[in-house]
Chains A and B, each alone.
Chain A
């Protein structure tokens, strides 16, 4: 599918080359009221790759993810300090255009959440808002998005049925297709397969591997096998006194074979929970 991205594809994505980052997180701290959920995270996420955020529950992975598209603004009492750059856009800036940012940085949630309307309406709401007014153009874009997630053959002929009547795996792929309708350059995925059966999980993993050619993907997962199967890079988060922090990050191969921390080695090999 035709997804507009602006960055070069063949660039050095080593951690030291900040200019090669698609997303650059600097000294990010997130707090909910008096509780600091994530402390002083600095991380660069390269374009056209799958970056997995892993770690035990409560270490701030999802909080970090929701900062990248400022969805954290919806949570009362959340405070964020530090800096996040998506290309040249200062995400946390006072004058950040949130609607434009979220159009560029799509998100898929743990639980499939299609709108409780028809499949077609799920797309029409998004497309009509973003200026795709002609019916023929909308049909073409729906077809394009459904093809990208492998749903065209399954549901392309019954677009007027309720999206909630689809299976869990189909609903999640529909949500990915709906997120692709805005032609994002980054897609954030918060444990997208945790509620799905192994077959649906495999389908979505294949889909993500295909999508990474055109979109930068950031995925939160508790499934280490999944991270090994699909991720190019990995960031391991840990907790200290209830506060999350970034323990180690690098390529998946680096973390698996040459971990810098004993905890990383133990966690990736299933020796600690």
Chain B
């Protein structure tokens, strides 16, 4: 290729890639919102479904979704941070323990969600006796979130390697460096990783059908079964003739929720990083 054409072609490829990404997102959002936004109202958000979801709202579904994701994030946070601190502080990079931990996280990331659902059903519903419950669903999702959350947490902790070195140079013990310097410094990045995990958790359906179930009543506790928004959308779209309208309305609420949470975590992440004025 002629040298003078290269910058032009490079620029074109980059712009085309950006346009493709924006187009796909915009197409999904427009397709969903134009069909669903008109049906979203205060009543839709605060009333229970009627006629198998064709009519009424999604109040118990919203509560179940919030509960399942809260359990998932609460369980994933300590596990992800623990794994990241272990990889950064406790083991040398190329030891068997480090490789094994990274390998396990990599395999977890590649496991299909339906397999997580079956494993979650076996471990949490049967072995641990939680039954079909929000707790079982949340813990299953926690395992799904874990690889990405741990990976982001490790990367963020490594970004603060200079703070770590400064801490050791001051004669501070490891526990003080981890608890007082690295984790507070890396907190925005760690929460950004959880934000990505939230996106996956809140959109998950396959793993939850086998673990948290799909009854639409308002859950009494985390030991009660519950239906999340993604499962609700799946059920309306696949099993309920005439449920398309509420499926799109629920999808609109789901998209707005995900966008709001991702924006919140991104704003938090933007606050990290040092400024050299």
Residues of chain A touching chain B, judged by Cβ–Cβ distance below 8 Å, are 69, 71, 74, 76, 98-104, 106-107, 109, 111-117, 125-126, 129-130, 164-168, 171, 175, 178-179, 181-182
Q: Determine which of A76, A102, A129 lies in contact with B176 in the assembled complex, contact meaning CB atoms within 8 Å.
A: A129
**A129 with B172, Cβ < 8 A, contacts A71-B165, A115-B166 known:** yes
Residue from the list B92, B172, B184 in contact with A126, Cβ < 8 A: B172
| Residues B148-176 near A (CB distance < 8 A) | 160, 162-163, 165-173, 176
User: Which residues does chain B contribute within 8 Å of A117, judged by CB atoms?
Assistant: 184-185
A103 to B172, CA, bound (A): 8
The answer to whether residues A175 and B168 also contact, given A76-B93, A129-B173 and a CB cut-off of 8 A, is: no
- Residues of chain B within 8 A (CB-CB) of A99 are 171-173
B residues within 8 A CB of A76?
Answer: 92-94
**Residue among A103, A113, A171, A175 with the most chain B CB within 10 A?**
A113
Chain B neighbourhood of A166, CB < 8 A: 277
Q: Which residue of A lies closest to B163 (CB)?
A: A115
Q: Which residues of A contact B275 (CB under 8 A)?
A: 164-165
Whether B165 pairs with A182 at a CB distance below 8 angstroms is no
- Quick one: which of A102, A164, A171 contacts B171, CB cutoff 8 A? A102
Within 8 Å by CB of A165, from B165, B167, B173, B277, lies B277
B181 at interface by CB-CB < 8 Å: yes
Answer whether residue B272 sits at the interface, using C-beta atoms and an 8 A cutoff: yes
Other-chain residue from A107, A115, A126, A167 in contact with B185 (beta carbon distance below 8 A): A115
* New A-B pairs, 18, CB < 8 Å, besides A74-B165, A102-B170: A71-B169, A76-B92, A76-B94, A103-B171, A106-B170, A109-B169, A112-B276, A113-B162, A114-B274, A115-B163, A116-B160, A116-B272, A116-B273, A129-B176, A164-B275, A165-B275, A181-B170, A182-B171
What A residues does B162 contact at CB under 8 A?
Answer: 109, 111, 113
Could you tell me the distance between the alpha carbons of A29 and B101 in the complex, rounded to whole angstroms?
A: 34
CB nearest neighbor in B for A112: B276
Q: Which residue of B lies closest to A76 (CB)?
A: B92
Q: Closest Cβ of chain A: how far from B92's Cβ, in Å?
A: 5
Measured between C-beta atoms, what is the minimum distance from B188 to chain A in Å? 10
- Determine how close the nearest CB of chain A comes to the CB of B197; give it in whole angstroms: 24
Chain A nearest Cβ from B274, distance in angstroms: 4
Q: State the CA gap A207–B273 with chains docked (Å).
A: 29
The answer to whether B169 and A106 have CB atoms under 8 Å apart is yes
B180 at the interface (CB under 8 A from A): yes
Asked if B166 and A175 sit within 8 Å, CB to CB, the answer is: yes
Which of chain B's residues have a CB closer than 8 A to the CB of A125? Answer: 167, 172, 176, 180-181
Whole-angstrom distance from the CB of B161 to the nearest CB of chain A? Answer: 9
Query: Contacting A179 at CB < 8 Å: which of B163, B170, B176, B276?
Result: B170
Determine the chain B residues whose CB is within 8 A of the CB of A102 once the complex forms.
168-171
The answer to whether A168 touches B170, judged by C-beta atoms less than 8 angstroms apart, is: no
Inter-chain CA distance A125–B185, complex, in Å, is 13
Known: A113-B163, A167-B277. A101 touches B171 (CB 8 A): yes
Q: Give the residues in chain B near A168, CB-CB below 8 Å.
A: 276-277
> Given the complex of chains A and B, what is the CA–CA distance between A164 and B176 in angstroms?
21
Query: What are 23 A-B interface contacts by the 8 Å CB criterion?
Result: A71-B165, A99-B173, A100-B171, A101-B171, A102-B169, A102-B171, A106-B170, A109-B162, A113-B162, A113-B165, A114-B274, A115-B166, A115-B181, A115-B185, A116-B272, A117-B184, A117-B185, A125-B176, A126-B170, A164-B274, A168-B276, A178-B170, A179-B169
- Closest chain B CB from A10 CB (angstroms): 29
Q: Which of B92, B166, B173, B184 contacts A113 (CB 8 A)?
A: B166
Chain B nearest Cβ from A95, distance in angstroms: 17
Bound complex: CA of A115 vs CA of B163, how far in Å? 6
Distance (Å) between the CB of A195 and the closest chain B CB? 9
| Alpha-carbon gap, A101 to B180, bound state (A) | 21
| Bound CA span A109–B169, Å | 10
Query: Smallest CB-CB separation from B164: which chain A residue?
Result: A74
8 nearest A-B residue pairs (beta carbon): A102-B171, A103-B171, A164-B274, A107-B169, A113-B162, A113-B166, A99-B171, A125-B180
Q: Which residues of A contact B165 (CB under 8 A)?
A: 71, 74, 109, 113
